[in-house]
C-alpha cells in the first residue's frame, strides 16, 4: 500500500489542465516502457474536464492513441448514447477526436445493450473482459493509471459508504442498485480492482468535498469512506483544488501548485 501524495491547485480548471498534462506524460512513459498504456477513466465534471483539456492540448499528439487501452471505473446503467453516461461524455470530450483503436476502448454495457436491463449480467461481462486482459495471476489488468472522482460522502466510482459494493471481497465488478445519487442503477469496479492500478489519482474540487478528503487522508476506514481504500500499487495521488484541500491535515498540506 502506498502513502498518499497531495497536490493542490488554485482552482478546478487549473487542476484539470495540470492533470491532463500529467496524463499525457504517464501514457507516453508507459508506452515507452512496455509498448502500450492502460487508463481507467472517470466521469463527472472534473474527469470530463481533464479529457477536454487533453483534447485541446498541443501535447495530445505526443501519445500513440492506437496503443492505449481505455476502461471505466464505473458507468451509469442507461441506454447507449445517453447524455449522462460517462462513456458519452468521454467521447465528446476526447475519444471521438483521437485515433483510438476501437477494440481497445472497453465500455461497460448500456441498459439497451446485449444484456438488456440486467446490470448484474453487464457487471459479470466486464469482469470477464478484465480477466481476459489480465496476467495469469490477476483477475484485472495492472492499469497504468486509474482516475477517480471523490463524492461529498467519500464515494469513488460507484462504491458508496457501507454499501454492498464496499464490502465486496471476491468480485472485481459489481452492479450497484439503489444508488444514493441518480441514476440509481450503475456498474462499478470494486476497490480490489482499483487497487490493481499502478497509480491511482483521486481528483476532486470544492468546499463540499473538504471533509471527505481530510477524513480519508487522516486514516479513515474504507467502509466508512471508500476513497480511503482507493490506493495504487506504486502511487496514490490526490489532486485537489484549494477549496477541497481546505481541511487537509497539516502533515499532508503541500504548497499551492
Q: How far apart are CA 247 and CA 25, in angstroms?
A: 30
Q: What pTM, to 2 d.p., does this model score?
A: 0.96
Domain ranges of the chain: 8-252
* Order of all β-strands in the sheet with 145-149: 4-9, 235-241, 199-204, 145-149, 37-41, 68-72
CB 14 within 8 A of CB 21: no
CB 73 within 8 A of CB 41: yes
Please name the helix (run of DSSP H) or strand (run of DSSP E) that holds residue 5, with its range, or none.
strand 4-9
- C-alpha cell, 13: 480548471
Angstrom CA distances, 42 to 153, 210, 257, stand at: 17, 20, 23
Q: How many helices (H) and strands (E) does the chain have?
A: 7, 9
| Per-residue confidence in pLDDT tens, the chain, 257 aa | 689 999 999 999 999 999 999 999 999 999 999 999 999 999 999 999 999 999 999 999 999 999 999 999 999 999 999 999 999 999 999 999 999 999 999 999 999 999 999 999 999 999 999 999 998 889 999 999 999 999 999 999 999 999 999 999 999 999 999 999 999 999 999 999 999 999 999 999 999 999 999 999 999 999 999 999 999 999 999 999 999 999 998 888 777 77
Q: Does domain 8-252 have CATH number 3.40.50.1360?
A: yes
- C-alpha cell, 239: 489532486
Amino acid at each position: 500500500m502506498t502513502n498518499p501524495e497531495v497536490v493542490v491547485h488554485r482552482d478546478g480548471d487549473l487542476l484539470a489542465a495540470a492533470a491532463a498534462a500529467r496524463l499525457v506524460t504517464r501514457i507516453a512513459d508507459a508506452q515507452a516502457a512496455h509498448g502500450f498504456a492502460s487508463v481507467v477513466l472517470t466521469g463527472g465534471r472534473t474527469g470530463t474536464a481533464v479529457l477536454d483539456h487533453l483534447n485541446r492540448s498541443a501535447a495530445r499528439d505526443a501519445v500513440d492513441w492506437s496503443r492505449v487501452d481505455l476502461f471505466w471505473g464505473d458507468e451509469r446503467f442507461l441506454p447507449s448514447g445517453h447524455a449522462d453516461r460517462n462513456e458519452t461524455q468521454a467521447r465528446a470530450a476526447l475519444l471521438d477526436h483521437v485515433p483510438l483503436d476501437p477494440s481497445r476502448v472497453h465500455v461497460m454495457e448500456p441498459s439497451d445493450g446485449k444484456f438488456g436491463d440486467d446490470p448484474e449480467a453487464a457487471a459479470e461481462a466486464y469482469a470477464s473482459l478484465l480477466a481476459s486482459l489480465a496476467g495469469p495471476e490477476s483477475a484485472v489488468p495492472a492499469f497504468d493509471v486509474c482516475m477517480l472522482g471523490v463524492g461529498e460522502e467519500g464515494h469513488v466510482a460507484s462504491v458508496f459508504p457501507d454499501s454492498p459494493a464496499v464490502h465486496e471481497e471476491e468480485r472485481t465488478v459489481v452492479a450497484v442498485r439503489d444508488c444514493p445519487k441518480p441514476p440509481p442503477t450503475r456498474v462499478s469496479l470494486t476497490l480490489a480492482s482499483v487497487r490493481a492500478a499502478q497509480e491511482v489519482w483521486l481528483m476532486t474540487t470544492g468546499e463540499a468535498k473538504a471533509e471527505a478528503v481530510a477524513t480519508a487522508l487522516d486514516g479513515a476506514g474504507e467502509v466508512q469512506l471508500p476513497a480511503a481504500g482507493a490506493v495504487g500499487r506504486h502511487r496514490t495521488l490526490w489532486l485537489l483544488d484549494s477549496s477541497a484541500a481546505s481541511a487537509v491535515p497539516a502533515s499532508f498540506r503541500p504548497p499551492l501548485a
